[in-house]
Structure formats: C-alpha cells, structure tokens
Amino acid sequence: TMSSLPKTMKAVVIEKTGGTDVLQYKTDVPVPEPKGDEVLIKNEYIGINYIDTYFRSGVYNPPSFPYILGREGAGTIAALGPSAHSDLTVGARVAYMGQNAYAEYTPASSTYVTTLPDSIDAKIGAAAPLQALTALTLIREAYAVQKGDWVLVTAAAGGVGLWLCQLLKAVGARTIATASTEEKRELAKQNGAEIVLGYYAEDRDQFVKKVLEITGGEGVHAVFDSVGKDTFDSSLAVVRRKGTMVSFGNASGPVTGFSLARLSAKNVKLLRTTLFNYIATREEFQQYSKELWGFIEKDGLNVKIHDIYPLEDIKRATEDIEGRKTTGKLLLKP
Ligand code: NDP
C-alpha cells in the first residue's frame, strides 16, 4: 500500500524548456500516487532516449510544468491504481514506457507496462521499450522486411540503430549501416551490419554511387532514417524503384519543405512514423514486447550499454547523447 512508501523522492525536473541548464536534480519531489489504470513503479534502471532531449529543448512540448522528463524504465511494482490491469501485481518485475521516468518512482499506465521474463535482466528491460520496440515495429510495419532485402540504417551505432542491425540480421536482411566514426561503424558491424559506411556529408554523390554499386545498381529496398535533415536527400537517393523511405527521427533537425512530386521519380513509399501509433493498445504493446523477449532469448539479441550514470548526473548524460558521444544505450540509476 501507499502507506509503506516514502513521501518524497529524487527526480529530475524542468520548469521550462531550454539548454541542459534547465535540468534540475531534486531530492524532495512528492512520490506520486497511481491513478486510474496506473501502477507505481520503483525504478531499478531508467532508459535515456534521444526524444528526452527534444522535450527538454522545446522541439516537442511537455504537457505542463514542473515536468519530470524520461520515458522508460524497469523495476518493481510498488503500488496499484484503482483500475490497474489484473495481470499486474505488487512486487512484479516490469518494464514500461510512459512519462516521468527520471525519478525513483514513476506512475505508468497498465497499457504500457509489461512483466519481465526471469531471463531478462532489468538493464535490458529499461533499455528496450522505446528503442527496441521502435526497431521491431519499423521492420514489421513501416516496411515488412523480407529475407535477402537490402536495408540502409542511419546512426547505426545508436540505441535504435544497434537494435535495427541485430533484428535485420536475425530476419535475414542485408544491412548497410552509416555512422560518423570508425569505432561506431565497427560496432554496427559487430551487431550484424554487412556493410558500413560514413555519411559522406561532404560528398553525397560518392555515397549514392557506393550504395548503388553494393546493391547491383538498384538501390536498397528500404531506408530507416533517424538523422532527418542532414541525410534525407542522400537516403531518398539510394532507395530503389518501388522502395520504401522511412523517416523516424530528427537528430540533425526536422525535414521540412518536401515536394511530393519527388516521389514519382521511383514510385517510392514515404513514411514519417512514431512508435506510439504502432502500439496504441495494450494488446499491441504486449504482443511486440513478447516478440522482442523472444528475439532476445532465442536469437541472442543484446544491448550494448554505453554507461550507467547516477540520476544526479543527468546533465553529463544528456550532453553525451546530444554530443554524439554515446553508442548503444545510456541508463540512469536512481
Ligand atoms: P541515438 O543513440 O541514436 O543517438 C542519436 C545519434 O544520432 C547520435 O549518436 C549520432 O550518431 C546521430 N546523429 C546524426 N546527426 C546528429 C546530430 N546533428 N546531432 C546529434 N546526433 C546526431 O538515439 P536514440 O536511439 O534514442 O534515437 C535515435 C533516433 O531515433 C532519434 O532521432 C530519435 O528521435 C528517433 N526515434 C524515433 C522514434 C519514433 O517513434 N519515431 C522512437 C525512438 C527514437 P552518429 O554520430 O553516428 O551520426
């Protein structure tokens, strides 16, 4: 019951959007009470995602202030809201996605809470919900990847990127991975990419020529592009006729001013996706989570943990991910 819980907790709060200076580490934030179908989770690990930086900087807007950032974690259920799902019980080990994760305790809707199989540790649990489910829904729904397909993945050594490399390998696709440094490209290769390339930001033509060469002159069946503004044109240029271009992130800034007529050059399918529209119901979230645990258990998928920072080091953690210094997953420990 709530009575056995502390009254206050540590959390990272923002009172306005802006640079990393707006991040405030506090030790006296009230422990929230789970409402409606929420359960209260005591976080063991908290996952950092690039989207957290959009909500801090104002690219996306927090619903209200003061606001606790963070969108995923793993831990144990500490209390149940009045209409929590009957599958969820106090003490259960769970992973979740939602809001207000940069804290000791987080209330999360039953819709986005899944119990962890014994074989999945809390670090993978905290690392997987956003990034791995993004990768999994992309290869199943945005473009249903088939064995033997050529696929281009940008920022391939990042959180989503490394899951994409591993999942694509597991389903028998052939991945061309791009990343900014030799070390990152090596990591993408270790995670299943067949070919690794730099972005050739200075020389788009050379990049395009190279990808066409690799794919027998035809281009790739699909691109999963999370970099946005800087890579959109080169990504579109290497999609084959009737291929699929999926844009799912803005790490270099959003893509704007696109002229539809450009698609007719190759009858390309263009999507701008978000994870939430692939897992809008509890059934969808549970089904994809189950499929993911299966990949981890049967195909040996794993997550490269870049580092685990104490919650109070949130500024350093944020600067690392925005500064392109991280590979794989960055976790916080409350
Ligand atoms: P990452 O770990 O991939 O970190 C971002 C990476 O983007 C960097 O490491 C860097 O890799 C690359 N990058 C390219 N250009 C820039 C730039 N100008 N500034 C900073 N980084 C840059 O983060 P995540 O795995 O959390 O997310 C990856 C992307 O996917 C993000 O854009 C995120 O918003 C998006 N995303 C979208 C979702 C959706 O539902 N649509 C869900 C989850 C994530 P390198 O140095 O190799 O270029």
Six token digits for residue 50: 């690039």
Convert the pLDDT of each residue in 151-193 to its tens digit. Answer: 999 999 999 999 999 999 999 999 999 999 999 999 999 999 9
Q: pLDDT 10s digit of each residue in the chain, 334 long?
A: 566 899 999 999 999 999 999 999 999 999 999 999 999 999 999 999 999 999 999 999 999 999 999 999 999 999 999 999 999 999 999 999 999 999 999 999 999 999 999 999 999 999 999 999 999 999 999 999 999 999 999 999 999 999 999 999 999 999 999 999 999 999 999 999 999 999 976 688 999 999 999 999 999 999 999 999 999 999 999 999 999 999 999 999 999 999 999 999 999 999 999 999 999 999 999 999 999 999 999 999 999 999 999 999 999 999 999 999 999 999 999 9
Six token digits for residue 270: 């263009």
Q: What is the DSSP string of 5-35?
A: S-SEEEEEEESS-SSGGG-EEEEEEEPPPP-
Specify the amino acid at residue 194: E
- For ligand 1, pick from 305, 324, 326, 329 the residue to mutate: most ligand atoms within 8 Å of CB: 324
d(CA 188, CA 206) in angstroms, rounded, equals 21
d(CA 147, CA 43) in angstroms, rounded, equals 38
The H-or-E segment that residue 77 falls in is: strand 72-80
Question: Which are the contacts of 173, defined by CB distance < 8 A and separation ≥ 6?
Answer: 139, 145, 146, 147, 148, 149, 150, 151
Contact between 133 and 70 (Cβ < 8 Å): no
| Nearest atom (ligand 1) to Cα of 130 | 43
Quickly count: other Cβ atoms within 10 Å of residue 15's Cβ: 11
Is the Cβ atom of 227 under 6 angstroms away from ligand 1?
yes
Between the alpha carbon of residue 94 and those of residues 22, 97, 115, 292, the distances in Å are 30, 10, 4, 14
**Ligand 1 centroid vs 251 CA: distance in angstroms?**
5
**Ligand 1 centroid vs 162 CA: distance in angstroms?**
11
pTM: 0.96
Give strand ranges (E) for 81-219.
93-97, 105-109, 113-115, 150-153, 174-178, 195-197
**Ligand 1 centroid vs 327 CA: distance in angstroms?**
10
d(CA 71, CA 87) in angstroms, rounded, equals 22
Contact between 156 and 196 (Cβ < 8 Å): yes
Is the ipTM above a cut-off of 0.85? yes
Is the Cβ atom of 184 under 6 angstroms away from ligand 1?
yes
